[in-house]
């Protein structure tokens, strides 16, 4: 485990790891902020880069918790190597309260994840992702100063309408 300079922890942090990979690595970069009740499961690698903000009650995991195969679960077997995939939260990203960042995900530089989102796919740099599952709702400029909203139909969301509309 590596913790950079000026990292701030705002309460309880839970870090767990299984017996699956040799030398699991958790890296927290300089000036990161980790909110209260954040839980990180690191069986291979979780990287939180510099200046990342992670709000309270978030969960970050590089593994689902049990093997996907029923037979493997019943046999209490170790997961297959491809069931454990590294997570990276890039510089300046902001993870909203209560969000889940799942295995194999990269959150791009300066990206924002809305509160209580479940992120199962990569979020591009300077984008805003929200929902369950999280979808890109806004695209940002490289300096993060302006955003363009993605129409609901373009992001695969159903558009609710009142009868008669």
- Which residues are known to be catalytic? 66
Residues 104, 79: contact at Cβ < 8 Å? no
SS3 at position 71: helix
CA gap 41, 3 in Å, rounded: 16
Kindly give the pairing relationship between strand 135-140 and strand 147-149: antiparallel
Kindly give the pairing relationship between strand 33-34 and strand 112-113: unpaired
In a 10 Å sphere around its CB, with 0-12 CB exposed, 13-18 middle and 19+ buried, how is residue 98 labelled? middle
CA gap 82, 84 in Å, rounded: 5
């Amino acid at each position: 485990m590596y913790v950079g300079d000026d990292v701030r922890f705002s309460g309880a942090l839970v870090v767990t790891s299984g017996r699956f990979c040799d030398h699991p690595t958790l890296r927290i970069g300089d000036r990161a902020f980790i909110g209260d009740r954040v839980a990180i499961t690191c069986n291979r690698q979780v990287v939180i880069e510099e200046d990342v903000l992670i709000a309270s009650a978030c969960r970050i995991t590089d593994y689902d918790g049990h093997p996907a195969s029923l037979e493997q679960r019943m046999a209490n077997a170790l997961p297959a190597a491809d069931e454990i995939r590294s997570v990276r939260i890039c510089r300046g990203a902001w993870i909203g309260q209560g969000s889940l960042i799942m295995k194999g995900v990269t959150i791009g530089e300066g990206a924002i994840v809305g509160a209580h989102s479940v992120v199962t796919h990569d979020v591009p740099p300077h984008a805003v992702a929200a929902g369950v599952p999280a979808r890109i709702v806004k695209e940002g400029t490289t300096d993060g100063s302006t955003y363009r909203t993605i129409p609901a139909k373009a992001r695969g969301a159903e558009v609710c309408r009142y009868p008669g509309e």
